[in-house]
Structure 1
Amino acid sequence: MVGPLIVIAQLPMHWTLAENLREIEAAMCFAADEGAALCAFAELAVTGFHRGIVTEGVPQKVDPALQCIADWAAELELAVAVGAPSFTPAGRFNSHVLIDEHGAVPARVHKNGLTAPEATFFQAGTERPVATLAGLRCSAVICREIEDHAAVLAQLQDEAPDLLFWPGQMRPDPDKPPVEPWAHVQDAMRLARDMGAWIVQSNWPNALNRPEESALTGASAIVAPDGRLVAQLPVQGLGVGLVVLGDDTVRWVPLDAVHRTMQG
């Protein structure tokens, strides 16, 4: 069965929330012009994933930005999965925010499997909710959580999601032997097969804290429910990928063409 058109935003990371928000708006406008039903963004797409999150990742900046994205989603009739900090009485979370095509937020998936540096800033999540976006049951597996196979299966196998967003996993682990496909992509292939769900990665194409680590960033993967790697977007590519679930054809659009949608 052929599913909806999804736009995978592989956008440049900026130091400020305002710059990242402009990139998100441009990608959403482009996606709507193309007739997409969903637009997927990277881990902490709103703030950027860098040391500046200390000043950018605060409620007075993040919450209005998310409201803008929700308003655009409603105006464009476009569902969105976007990374941003969330703030609750229990703490601050690294979340993937699921916004439906009406601008409502039916779920926020808080990252469960934090790295040690992340745990100094974020609280770990304990659940993995599922919400319906564009008629698909969706959840998220954030960055290195793709390795937590048993834990993710236990949380989701009774929920029967159609689509798992996979924001992050910026590059192959340099401490692991090089393999093809990369080890973390193989993890995604196994999880997709065992879940019977699509996995759509939305990765950053550049690193800011340590720019030298940008060499193998990007390359966002699309994995079918049978565990087959359908395609990967360009390494270090700045732009968006368009994929119709169930169709192995993936179209790549460079960033300058995405920006022209806003200029027009």
Structure 2
Amino acid sequence: MKVGIAQMPMSWTVEENTKTICNTIAENRDLDILVFPELTITGFHRDIKNQAQQHVIENSLNEISTQCQQSNTLIFVGYPLIENSKIYNAYAAINKLGYSEIVWRKVGLTPSESTFFESGDKRAVFEHELGTFSAYLCCEANDINWVIEQLSSKSPSHVLWPSYIGQAESSVNAEHANYEADSKRIARSLSAMVIQCNWPHSLNNPNNSGLGGSIIISSNGDVIAQLPFDETCVGVFDTTTQKLMMR
């Protein structure tokens, strides 16, 4: 299986991000799946409240679904999900027919996210011919026991880790000390490959560095591939040969 990891540029508007997403899908139609970062459609920045309008998000998802059909590609993408006047930090699988197969709602919110998003409640798996997929979002990597409890009986083969994490955060916030170490433990405990897709830069703080660097962790808990830090790119990982190529 060839997995594309899209460290895409974050833009201020849904329109710009949707264009980038659709172009990325079209340009990588030879891949089996494409993985995008957390809150792909809006980005995560100080203007997210203005961008997270239901009709705007729905129009974006329709465009993305059409592109999935045209490119015959399974993708994983993040966006604000609005349900019953509540907004969730959601992550979804959209299949080759353009249908949403599953939606995961983030449970472990950061303090800043909690001012805008509601917390989700559980984590399920998505059965596909390419494998059994699930996900945890960004700092949920620290909720090790919860992730393992939710997924251990469901035997996922691949766990996606859409993120917005900078290297410096590990030293700034001791409570969230080591996302990578925690993700290695999750991979080992679940005997699943963990595939991260991290944003490569920040809009709110453009001088920040240490973003990107998306990693792939084997079911043994070893980092077997890593994308560049602070660069927009698509990394193509072949799960058979375990080789990573950059586009």
Instruction: Please give the alpha-carbon distance, in whole angstroms, between the structure 2 residues aligned to 1:184 and 1:234.
Output: 17
Match of 1:192, SS state, is helix
| Stretches (4+) displaced over 4 A | none
Query: What displacement does 1:134 show?
Result: 4.9
Contact persistence 1:193–1:225 (CA under 8 A): yes
Contact persistence 2:9–2:199 (CA under 8 A): yes
Match of 2:202, SS state, is coil
Q: Does 1:170 align with 2:165?
A: yes
Match of 1:211, SS state, is coil
Contact persistence 1:79–1:134 (CA under 8 A): no
Match of 1:71, SS state, is helix
One-letter amino acid matched to 1:217: L
Contact persistence 2:68–2:75 (CA under 8 A): yes
CA RMSD of superposed structures (Å):
1.7
What does residue range 1-264 of structure 1 map to in structure 2 within 5 Å?
A: 4-32=1-29, 35-89=30-84, 91-174=86-169, 176=171, 183-213=178-208, 215-253=209-247
Query: What displacement does 1:172 show?
Result: 2.4
One-letter amino acid matched to 1:132: E
Query: What displacement does 1:173 show?
Result: 4.6
Q: Give the corresponding residue for 1:258.
A: none
Match of 1:127, SS state, is coil
Contact persistence 1:143–1:169 (CA under 8 A): yes
Residues 101, 19 of structure 1: alpha-carbon distance in 2 compared, 3 angstrom cutoff: same
Where structure 1 has 5 or more consecutive residues not aligned to the other structure, the ranges are 254-264
Match of 2:179, SS state, is helix
Instruction: Please give the alpha-carbon distance, in whole angstroms, between the structure 2 residues aligned to 1:5 and 1:89.
Output: 37
Contact persistence 1:110–1:126 (CA under 8 A): yes
How many residue pairs match? The answer is 244
Instruction: Please give the alpha-carbon distance, in whole angstroms, between the structure 2 residues aligned to 1:174 and 1:115.
Output: 13
One-letter amino acid matched to 2:22: E
Alpha-carbon displacement from aligned partner over 1:23-61 (angstroms, at most 9, x marks no partner): 1112101220xx211000010010111111111111011
Instruction: Please give the alpha-carbon distance, in whole angstroms, between the structure 2 residues aligned to 1:199 and 1:216.
Output: 20
Contact persistence 1:71–1:103 (CA under 8 A): yes
Residues 216, 173 of structure 1: alpha-carbon distance in 2 compared, 3 angstrom cutoff: closer
Query: What displacement does 1:183 show?
Result: 2.5
Instruction: Please give the alpha-carbon distance, in whole angstroms, between the structure 2 residues aligned to 1:228 and 1:64.
Output: 40
One-letter amino acid matched to 2:223: L
How high is the TM-score relative to the length of structure 1? 0.88
Where structure 2 has 5 or more consecutive residues not aligned to the other structure, the ranges are none
Query: What displacement does 1:241 show?
Result: 0.1
Match of 2:171, SS state, is coil
Alpha-carbon displacement from aligned partner over 1:186-216 (angstroms, at most 9, x marks no partner): 2111111111111111111010111222x10
Instruction: Please give the alpha-carbon distance, in whole angstroms, between the structure 2 residues aligned to 1:250 and 1:175.
Output: 26
